[in-house]
């Protein structure tokens, strides 16, 4: 009889990386012979909202509602289609637990029963986002093994107000791993325990496996794909225009996501309704990717694209990308926002993906071995 595994992660927000890492974690564990479910815990919930200032809550609500309303005035009802594409992907690819937990009180009162509990990956231990939410540290578990897989702090330090609770939570794990070097240091500093550096779960699946769940994006001309959380920052788009004018002439420029007014940009095609499957298809067929996010860098590598990893010069934002590039000997593929556009000439240098994939396969084996051994022993 298969052992049952429950996964706690951030799985139900409109974020490509969060959804795809949740799917990948579930898939890899299932392929190891386990009966796997994603525990349906709502994030963010009232606890997280209370921790934010009232002004920020009101501001975010107004901005979100106005932007989504305006997008639905566009042809194809862009925001509604965007949401439907997310729902479709999760319905087709998630194996969710039967109970929806709206907050930690409900989860603690009626916890799901599994043989093994896994937390990870994503930024589930990031103080800025989750504060010290006990759910993401498996503090509702009464009986069963506790494992973290690639759980991320996305921070160099833990605020003093959370250190004692983080220490107690982490000490209760049977196996600990994280996806960035700074996380290894945090765990050791707080607990004295060693942990394991592993790959983000999206990297445990190769391009042939991602091809099975993507929606193809067909373009009759080569394109530069831009993706990153840079609202109000035009550096990425201007860099793309420079590349299209000076390096790879007349390449189309596609921007994934954006605001209502981006739809009317005559120089850049802005796609406002892509779900996770469409996101993957855009990366698969791009000629060049300007990746201002961790998972944009990851999927550029998985699909063997010519890419630049755009960094903000901020430790908490850049550490994940820098660590990944270093491991795969791709540190030369980075540019910092504000650098001269001429540095993008690096795109003329081919990436030797035979070498990259050889390293990546070794790292996959190490990460899968950690996960397999943690589940078995």
- Going by pLDDT thresholds of 50, 70 and 90, the confidence category of residue 71 is confident
Structure tokens at 340: 């001269």
Rounded to the nearest integer, the mean pLDDT of the chain is: 93
* Region(s) of the chain under CATH 3.40.50.2000: 214-360
Residues 112/56, Cβ–Cβ less than 8 Å? no
**What is the average per-residue pLDDT within 248-263?**
90
pLDDT of the residue at 262: 85
Structure tokens at 144: 């069963």
Distance CA 267, CA 270 (A): 9
Q: Is residue 54 predicted with pLDDT exceeding 60?
A: no
Distance CA 242, CA 101 (A): 48
**What is the average per-residue pLDDT within 133-160?**
94
Q: What is the pTM of this model?
A: 0.94
Please tell me the number of Cα atoms within 13 Å of 255 on its side-chain side: 26
Per-residue pLDDT tens over the stretch 209-243: 999 999 999 999 999 999 986 555 689 999 999 99
Measure Cα distances from 80 to 66, 71, 87, 231 in Å: 13, 8, 11, 21
- Going by pLDDT thresholds of 50, 70 and 90, the confidence category of residue 131 is confident
Q: Where are the alpha helices (DSSP H) in the chain?
A: 16-31, 46-50, 54-71, 78-93, 104-109, 127-130, 160-171, 181-191, 207-210, 235-246, 276-285, 294-302, 315-327, 353-376
Point out the least confidently predicted range of 136-145, 314-323, 343-352.
314-323
Distance CA 341, CA 192 (A): 44
CATH class in words for 4-205+362-376 = alpha beta
Q: Is residue 93 predicted with pLDDT exceeding 80?
A: yes
- Going by pLDDT thresholds of 50, 70 and 90, the confidence category of residue 263 is confident
CATH number for the domain whose boundaries are 214-360: 3.40.50.2000
Greatest distance between any 2 Cα atoms in the chain: 61
Task: Name the 3-class secondary structure at 351.
Answer: coil
pLDDT of the residue at 98: 97
């Amino acid at each position: 009889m298969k052992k049952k595994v429950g996964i706690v992660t951030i799985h139900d927000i409109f974020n490509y990386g969060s959804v795809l890492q949740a799917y990948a974690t579930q898939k890899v564990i299932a392929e190891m012979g386990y009966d796997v479910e994603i525990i349906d815990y709502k994030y963010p919930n009232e606890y997280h909202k209370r921790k934010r200032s009232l002004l920020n809550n009101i501001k975010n609500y107004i901005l979100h509602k106005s932007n989504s309303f305006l997008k639905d005035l566009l042809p194809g009802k862009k925001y509604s289609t965007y949401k439907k594409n997310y729902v479709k992907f999760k319905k087709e690819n998630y194996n969710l637990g039967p109970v929806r937990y709206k907050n930690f009180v409900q989860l603690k009162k009626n916890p799901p029963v599994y043989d093994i509990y896994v937390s990870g990956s994503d930024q589930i231990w990031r103080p800025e986002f989750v504060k010290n939410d006990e759910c993401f540290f498996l503090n509702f578990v009464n009986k069963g093994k506790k494992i973290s897989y690639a759980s991320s702090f996305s921070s160099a330090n833990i605020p003093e107000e959370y250190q004692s609770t983080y220490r107690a939570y982490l000490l209760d794990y049977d196996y600990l791993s994280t996806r960035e070097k700074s996380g290894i240091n945090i765990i050791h500093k707080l607990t004295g325990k060693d942990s394991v550096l592993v790959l983000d779960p999206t990297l445990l699946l190769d391009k042939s496996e991602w091809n099975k769940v993507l929606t193809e994006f067909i373009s009759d001309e080569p394109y530069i794909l831009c993706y990153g959380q840079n609202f109000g920052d035009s550096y990425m788009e201007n860099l793309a225009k420079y590349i299209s004018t000076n390096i790879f002439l007349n390449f189309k420029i596609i921007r994934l996501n954006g605001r209502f007014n981006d739809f009317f940009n005559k120089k850049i095609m802005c796609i406002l309704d892509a779900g996770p499957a469409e996101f993957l298809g855009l990366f698969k067929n791009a000629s060049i990717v300007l990746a201002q996010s961790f998972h944009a860098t990851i999927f550029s590598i998985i699909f063997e694209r010519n890419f630049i990893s755009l960094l903000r010069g901020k430790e908490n934002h850049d550490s994940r990308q820098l660590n990944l590039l270093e491991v795969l000997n791709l540190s030369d593929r980075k540019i910092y926002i504000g650098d001269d556009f001429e540095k993008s000439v690096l795109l003329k240098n081919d990436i030797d993906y035979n070498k990259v994939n050889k390293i990546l396969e070794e790292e996959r084996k190490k990460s899968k071995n950690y996960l397999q051994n943690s589940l078995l022993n």
